[in-house]
Structure 1
Amino acid sequence: MSCAVLRQRSTTRLHVALRPRASYLSPSSCNSRRYIFSFLRKPKPAPKKSDPVPVLTQDDLFHPFSKSPFPMLQARGEAIKRIAPCPVCTTSHEQGIPHEHREPQNVDFECPDCGWPTHCSEEHWKQDEEHQKYCLRLREANEDEHDLRSGRRMVEFELPGPQGYEEAISFANWDVFWYTRGFMSMDTERSRRHASKLLTYPITIGSALHQWSPLMLSNQRLTPEGSRSLAAIRSTLHVPLGAPETAEAQVGKPQVRIFILGARAESSLPVHVWEQLCLLFPAAQLHIFFIGPQVSLPRGETPKSPAQVQHSHSNAAPSSSTSSPSPTDSPSTEIAIPAKVPPEEVHQNKVAELQNRKEYLPNVFKPPPPVPIDRQKYTRNSISRYGVPSYTTPYTKELTVTGLQTNYLDVHHLFSESLDPYSDAFFFFSPGFGFPSENSFAEDGVTPLPQIASPTEWGSILPLLLESKCPIFVTGFSPADVERDVRSLSEAPDVAGQFEWVVMPGPNTFSSEKWEISDFDPRVMIKANWGIWAIRGRSKDIQERSMLDGLLPWRQ
């Protein structure tokens, strides 16, 4: 009996010993293991995010404007039909050919080959033999507009970072520049057109000021006077030969200021696009000024006059000297820090906004003001400094962007005493110097003056810039536009004979390769920044006279 009891107790103890004990650790800690050579194990790759599904595929980009899936393109087609005349009707009236209508009719028929409204009827479309000469360009522009809104991944807009150490940049052409700069491969002509349109403004500036510029004495684009003029500002942008171009070389150098006068669409480019200009000069600090009545202001920024700003500050002042300062008195109120949004969500929101936008303003004579730009983290209001609606964005320590929504003549006094050919340069992107003025006329009261001679436009500004001796670069959108602007220099009273050439007129290596179609006449097509030229104020050489000049007869 006792043996049976002992056997039962020993069996019970054995079962208790073999019973699993309750764990007081978390379930995840039970499965964790620590290996001695765990650092040799490769971490599991993060799951790749799939590209967004495009609305249109690459083989379905052509759509007539009236049947476009995007409301903005439909609105553009309607705007063209309201203002563009039929080319056949116009030619018939100009040549005196009998026509069924007294006045040229507006376009209403969409070409089935290009999708643009081009003629008033199908009969006139069949009669027009000149249409086939530019029909392919119109179709190309049609597909480009739909591709921008298709929602696909735009690899051509993925910009590279800083240039590698001892990696030279070539400015021979777009292809070599993209390759040496480390851009994504441009596999199609459409990608080339999109990328060149985006980068033409910053890279045109960079290629003109860089020491390896394609504008050289050897190809007769750069003049000897221009070589001396650009040598001054290049000594600030670069380091001496043999020294590395690094951020440490910025110490002790003045900030290089680039004034873009009459800025329009270029002021609405994202700041990271203008950073590509800054990355071409790693040993310099750049400050870009957009000045013009059509400059884009940050989103949500309401322009205020200086009187309104002073009134708001007076209302915010404390009532007594003993009261503590309120938070609104601190300068930090001028800095608007937006909420952090993932870049993927920002991109998707912008694409959706572009696809669903319905309104469209035709680009007739005066282009509409650009859309407001996004506020960056440190964007601040600068109206108290410049006295006009303005903003300043210190994007990086090498790049600062300032926009002033006013005429340059109103703020010239703020920069006139500090302008220096060693650190300042002016750029005009298609200013229209030779276009007729709307406000100024000749002595007969009928003939309009060119804008470069108009006192209300460029006539009073260009002489002030020539006095600074800083280089002035001008671009044009076509050969005719460049020729018209160059010829207008001789018609301005305070400009003719007061300048010398820096860069001779000619094609711009980094012009946009995308055709821009005019709304008032689809036959008119341009390429942004097709040509470039530059001038500066005439220098006066000082000759020292000797005491023997009056004594020696051959030196009198």
Structure 2
Amino acid sequence: MPKTAPSLAIVAINTATNGRRSLSLKSFFSPRKPKKDAFTSQFEPVLEQANLFHPLSKSPIPAVRQKAEWISKHGSCAVCKDQEHEHGHKHGEHKPEQKKRKAPTYECPDCGYPTHCSEEHYQMDKDRHKHICGILREINEDEHDLRSGRRMKEFEFPGAQHRDEAINLSNWDTFLYTRGFLSMNSERSMRHVSHVLTYPITIGSVLHQSSPYRLGKDLTVEGLKSLAALRHTLHPAVIPGITQSQDLRTIATHTVRIFCLGARAESHLPPHIYMQLAYLFPTTAFQIHFVGPDAIPPHTKSKDPHQHVHYEQITFIYDNSRYETYHAEAGPFNPYYDVFFLFSPGLAHPATKDMWKPTIPLLLDTKCAIFGTGFDEQDVMNDVNEIENAGYEMDWLMKPRENVFRSLKHEVNLTDVRQSAQCNWGIWGIRGRRYDVRPAEE
């Protein structure tokens, strides 16, 4: 009989039988390693999220171990410091029998910071230390998280806002949500982001027409007048010739100058961070002047004392001179286009108060709005009292109050870890007094 072609069914059965690969339960339940690519391979975590707490001296991160060494060298034991203070009151501060303060080499097992010179002093001070212990542990874990090597998705910021999408500046949560930031799934992520954005968003929250600060509760009548002038420039009612598809950033109609005096950390932020301020005002070009001895552009090796950096709709100007020498160059000033910010200036601090004395009268003479911040309530009130006691002719624009967009992250004083603060905790505002000229009654 002639051979007939095998049926497709038989071929399929034979193929399945002969070519079958042996399977086991292990192949089903064993985790499969994801394929690595060039992008994901750069985010190899050094520390897992469940392993962020380490005593500073035993940290796997060299920079954290160096921090522990610095505290042990320059810090002070809380108990020794108190004993020294009491001894000084009794016998005078320069008596030869005065006890020498010991370095804090004993690390608290709960927060990981070197807080006392010995376990004995730690136990003596434990009840008082517990009030700061939780904050120190939070700082410890936050610092290890930033250096853990994980992909920091919270720092992947959104771009420009669509013109029909409103921004809510009531608080950090509503701002991040309405601006389209990635969801913040932990308080730690919120602390990281708020610490970076506190400078630009503090500025934006004061100037924006949707500001959380209201007349009567926060702003004075004079404050509303000054901000109305700035908002007239920042929020033009009608832009002639604009089309629905046109990018608002390409048709900036005005330039607003923001002067950050005594600039330190705020001048070291990368330019793209300040774009989050610019996105709040898409039709405005900005010049941000960082003025002060520590005003240095980020990621630069140049020693030029005066530098310009252009980034989209913002021009950054860095000048490390004192403001009284910069003032004449920056003038003339216009309350509709110019505003001053003093971030934690230390107007009342013994080390810096004399430096500010020639500056404040110059600022008040411009009649432009001046806003200042402080790192805690006491710092704010010290600066406010210093201004009031100086007898300047001025108007209050904003009553001293807690800043809605303060940093949620605590920072510790490394010479005395009992002291912690929050960047831009409080805010206040003043302006040189203006007198209304009215025609005389006939």
TM interval, shorter chain, is 0.7 to 0.9
Contact 2:226 2:369 in 1 (8 A): yes
The one-letter code matched in structure 2 to 1:169 is I
Q: Which residues of 2 match residues 39-78 of structure 1 at below 5 A?
A: 49-50=39-40, 52-78=43-69
Contact 1:478 1:526 in 2 (8 A): yes
Contact 1:227 1:502 in 2 (8 A): yes
Structure-1 separation of matches of 2:228 and 2:78: 50
Equivalences, count? 396
Contact 2:252 2:284 in 1 (8 A): no
Tell me which residue corresponds to 2:189: 191
Tell me which residue corresponds to 1:508: 403
Tell me which residue corresponds to 1:523: 418
Tell me which residue corresponds to 1:149: 147
**1:416 Cα shift?**
2.2
Please tell me whether residue 225 in structure 1 is matched to residue 235 in structure 2.
no
**1:76 Cα shift?**
1.1
Q: Which residues of 2 match residues 91-106 of structure 1 at below 5 A?
A: 91-96=82-87, 102-106=99-103
Gaps of 5+ in 1: 1-46, 305-388, 439-450, 549-556
Please tell me whether residue 83 in structure 1 is matched to residue 74 in structure 2.
yes
Contact 1:86 1:120 in 2 (8 A): yes
**1:302 Cα shift?**
3.4
Q: Which residues of 2 match residues 443-454 of structure 1 at below 5 A?
A: 451=353, 454=354
Q: Which residues of 2 match residues 89-168 of structure 1 at below 5 A?
A: 89-96=80-87, 102-128=99-125, 129-168=127-166
Contact 2:154 2:189 in 1 (8 A): yes
Tell me which residue corresponds to 1:483: 381
The one-letter code matched in structure 2 to 1:193 is R
Deviations 1:228-266 (A, max 9, x none): 111001111002289999755985833100000011111
Secondary structure of the residue aligned to 1:436 is: coil
Secondary structure of the residue aligned to 2:417 is: coil
Please tell me whether residue 414 in structure 1 is matched to residue 329 in structure 2.
yes
**1:96 Cα shift?**
4.6
Instruction: Decide which structure has the larger Cα Rg and report it.
Output: 1
Structure-1 separation of matches of 2:249 and 2:45: 45
**1:407 Cα shift?**
1.2
Partner of residue 436 from structure 1, selected from 341, 344, 350:
350
Structure-2 separation of matches of 1:432 and 1:249: 36
Q: Which residues of 2 match residues 47-446 of structure 1 at below 5 A?
A: 49-50=39-40, 52-96=43-87, 102-128=99-125, 129-217=127-215, 220-240=217-237, 248=248, 253-297=253-297, 299-304=299-304, 389-396=305-312, 398-417=313-332, 419-437=333-351
Structure-1 separation of matches of 2:298 and 2:187: 33
Deviations 1:146-201 (A, max 9, x none): 11111100011010011123110001110111000100100011101000001000
Structure-1 separation of matches of 2:439 and 2:384: 35
Contact 1:203 1:277 in 2 (8 A): yes
Q: CA RMSD in A?
A: 2.4
Contact 1:298 1:391 in 2 (8 A): no
Deviations 1:108-142 (A, max 9, x none): 11111111000000111111120111111111100
Secondary structure of the residue aligned to 2:109 is: coil
Contact 2:375 2:425 in 1 (8 A): yes
The share of aligned pairs that are identical, in percent, is 46
Q: 1:303 to 1:252 in 2, by over 3 A?
A: closer
Structure-2 separation of matches of 1:522 and 1:225: 41
Structure-2 separation of matches of 1:251 and 1:160: 21
TM-score, normalisation: structure 1: 0.68
**1:225 Cα shift?**
0.8
Contact 1:263 1:295 in 2 (8 A): yes
Secondary structure of the residue aligned to 2:49 is: coil
Deviations 1:498-529 (A, max 9, x none): 11011110000000000101111000000000
Contact 2:169 2:210 in 1 (8 A): yes
Structure-2 separation of matches of 1:121 and 1:251: 64
Contact 1:81 1:108 in 2 (8 A): yes
Structure-2 separation of matches of 1:131 and 1:77: 18
The one-letter code matched in structure 2 to 1:523 is R
Contact 1:89 1:105 in 2 (8 A): yes
Structure-2 separation of matches of 1:545 and 1:215: 36
Structure-2 separation of matches of 1:517 and 1:422: 39
The one-letter code matched in structure 1 to 2:337 is S
The one-letter code matched in structure 2 to 1:488 is E
Structure-1 separation of matches of 2:170 and 2:238: 21
The one-letter code matched in structure 2 to 1:274 is Y
Q: 1:247 to 1:407 in 2, by over 3 A?
A: farther
**1:491 Cα shift?**
3.2
TM-score, normalisation: structure 2: 0.85
Deviations 1:293-322 (A, max 9, x none): 001235454325xxxxxxxxxxxxxxxxxx
